[in-house]
Amino acid sequence: MAWIYLILAGLFEIGWPVGIKMSQEENTRIAGICFAVTFMGVSGFLLWLAQKQIPIGTSYAVWTGIGAAGTFLVGVTFYGDPGSLGRYVGIILIIAGVASLKLAH
């Protein structure tokens, strides 16, 4: 169950930078801030639950890795962020690093 909490925490981690981005527009400022704060709280709570059984270094790396990769993909898909080969390789390296933390005991 801890890994489910951790994956969900990572997915919710994507929501707060999206909320921050939303808040940059005048007509979605308040909604964006509320979105960001809500997702921060849920993400943090789920991370807390996951860390009861998963080591802190592993859980934090997985959490931020999911958040970084997911936020990158949202940025490229919905906000026109650049999606160069080098940037995709960087995301793959982040994922590989996180996987190595999980696999190496």
Query: Residue 30, CB half-sphere, CA atoms under 13 Å: how many?
Result: 1
Task: Give the pLDDT of the chain (105 residues) as one tens digit per residue.
Answer: 999 999 999 999 999 999 999 999 999 999 999 999 999 999 999 999 999 999 999 999 999 999 999 999 999 999 999 999 999 999 999 989 888 887 886
What pTM, to 2 d.p., does this model score? 0.90
Which pLDDT belongs to residue 42?
Answer: 98
Q: With contact defined as beta carbons under 8 Å apart, do 98 and 62 qualify?
A: yes
Contacts (Cβ under 8 Å, ≥6 apart) of 71 = 13, 14, 17, 18
d(CA 101, CA 76): 27
d(CA 57, CA 61): 6
Q: With contact defined as beta carbons under 8 Å apart, do 102 and 58 qualify?
A: yes
